[in-house]
Structure 1
Amino acid sequence: MRIENAVALVTGASSGLGEATARALAEAGARVVLLDRDADSGQAVADSIDGKFVHVDITDRTEVAEAVNAAADLGPLRVAVNCAGVGDGCRVVDRKGRPHDLALFERIVAINLTGSFNVLRLAAAAMASLAATEDGERGIVVNTASIAGLEGQTGQAAYAASKGGIVGLTLAAARDLGPHGVRVVTIAPGIFGTAMVGLLPLATRADLLENLAFPPRTGHPEEFADLVLSAVRNPYLNGETIRLDGGLRMTNR
């Protein structure tokens, strides 16, 4: 899939992995549409890469549909990248015997899983209406899971469930969209230098770093963005979840 002159839609684009991805796609020649709830930061990033910012709640079907239409109006929407997400820690039953807050679980799943699917389904429908490229492609959707979706730690039930859902969605969506020439790929990052990881206690981050194989550091958002570009450019990569974690394997805590 050629990135040059294509339109790319990126959620969670005001910071972290989404911002790095939006910048990399713009540098590669795409017209980037940035979706986020943080209007000030999102607009600032969009202005810096000559992109278009749209204030969106990804769980809102109307807002996402309007954003996808706005992206399609700029040219052929060939790339959509889901980076928006939230996380919070809560045990299924805490030390005082209290059950997990159901509203918190529903919120995390709504944003991370349902929101990602909302973007995927609408972006894929727009891609399916395009003329195919020389090799039959029409577009690609890249989702963001987490290694927590494969190896959830204590207190990560909601987050792990939401990200594990994205992993499970990947192949099924790729098979659904194959006849339309639309690929689906998921990246499962480890610990990256983002605001979400910054919320972790220093001791927790130190413990995670000790379990890395190499390199012994948090990932750079630009490294995530590099993998997105590789996925877009490689037409044979489809239906797969790729770990990007420095060889990290999560422990119980």
Structure 2
Amino acid sequence: MKRGLPEKRPITNVGKIIAVSSAKGGVGKSTIAVNLALAAAREGISTGILDTDIYGPSIPTLLGLEGLEPELDRNNRLVPLTAYGIKAMSMGFLVPQDSPVAWRGLMLQKALTQLLFEVAWPKLDLLVLDLPPGTGDVQLTISQSLELSGAIVVSTPQDLALRDAVRGVDFFKKVNVPILGMIQNMSTFVCTNCGHAHDIFGLDGVRRECANMGIELLGDIPLHPQICSDADAGRPTVVADSESPQAKAFTILASRLRTTLGMD
């Protein structure tokens, strides 16, 4: 073990762990993470999702679990909540919805350690970590504390978002976490009235960066208003409209991820 670095530990009962990340907020990372986890579960993979965003947790809203609190098992470990066939844990279950979390340093590390190692997960094939934006303390702690099977970086095609996404890819390379690939979110918008395709945030920016960096483009998720409204309603698209083109994009993504992780 290198001096000053924590020893990496497994999470009990969990097989593979992947991190869904973005170095920039507002690119739909949490929505992607939730729909990916749900699509994986529909592929027959026992799946959980862990919201590691201490300051702005989104998973309770996205899964329709706001206001619910986890129980403790006999060993005082948090028992995950269940939604749509997946297990979920979030700091949003532990603090009131409208209360700000004004923690740093030891308090932040203590909360993160509890979420990582004091949750009574059932046996899972896959645990999806929804990381907060950026490449700061939380990302560094997770990459140094867990044996991650890999990381996925989410970006829109916009050049400004891509600059941060490239930094995110470089971060994971520096901490020796395998890059599973990138996901292009909010790409083409097809008008429901005229059927014309609009590339609102640009065209194929993530695809080009993947080619430049030699990494895989795992998925291309369209810009569709239903994805947003489904998320706000606590019924993600994979559940709310499983036969829609946008839901099928997540199904394709989960299938590719399954192959990439060697879970076929």
Length-normalised TM-score, structure 2? 0.46
TM-score by length of 1: 0.47
- Higher percent of residues as helix: 1
- Tell me: higher relative CO, structure 1 or 2? Use CA pairs within 8 A at least 6 residues apart: 2
